[in-house]
Amino acid sequence: MSGFPNFTKGHELTANDLNQIVGVASGGRIVGGEGLYATSGGAIAVIPGSRLLIAKSVGTITARSGATAGTGTVSIQSFDGADLADSGWEQDVFNFAGGGDIPDGVFVSIGFADDGYCWVISSECYAAEGG
């Protein structure tokens, strides 16, 4: 996770933030208000003002089957105003779409629900295997 996620200059760390970080370090899964996200892997990210991120599938993201959400991993992309680039941050995601698996290397938008789970919101169009 080279350099990402991190706190930005001027971010005020509260006692609650520190308690949440300790909870994550000991295996918990938390989501703070205002864009502080942490997972059991110990990654902390401050995402001010937005819960929507652009990512790229790493391997296959499986489709939902009945009431069971699909799962997979994505690589969060950074954007410099012109180009997308791999940020070095990977995130496990759930997929509510049941139409088919999302193959490796497909750009997706993801979002964090209030309960802290990360979901694929949409994907770019891609050719299905055999199609």
Q: Same domain for 73 and 101?
A: yes
User: Using H for helix, E for strand and C for coil, what is the string for the chain?
Assistant: CCCCCCCCCCCCCCHHHHHHHHHHHCCCCEECCCCEEECCCCCEEECCCCCEEEEEEECCECCCECCECEEEEEEEEEECCCCEEEEEEEEEEEECCCCCCECCCCEEEEEECCCCCEEEEEECCCCCCCC
Q: Same domain for 101 and 62?
A: yes
**pLDDT digits 0-9 by tens, 13-23:** 776 666 666 66
Chain center to CA of 60: 15
Domain count, the chain: 2
Residue 68 lies in a domain: yes
Is pLDDT at 131 greater than 90 in this prediction?
Answer: no
Residue 114 lies in a domain: yes
Q: Same domain for 113 and 61?
A: yes
Q: Same domain for 64 and 107?
A: yes
Q: How far apart are CA 98 and CA 69, in angstroms?
A: 8
| End-of-domain residue from the set 48, 70, 87 | 48
| Whether 44 contacts 21, CB under 8 Å | yes
Is pLDDT at 71 greater than 60 in this prediction?
Answer: yes
Q: Which domain holds residue 56?
A: 52-123
Residue 129 lies in a domain: no
Q: Same domain for 71 and 106?
A: yes
Give me the pLDDT at residue 30, please: 44
**pLDDT digits 0-9 by tens, 89-109:** 899 999 998 889 999 999 999
Q: Which CATH number is 118's domain given?
A: 2.40.50
Q: Same domain for 114 and 99?
A: yes
Is pLDDT at 60 greater than 80 in this prediction?
Answer: yes
Give me the pLDDT at residue 4, please: 31
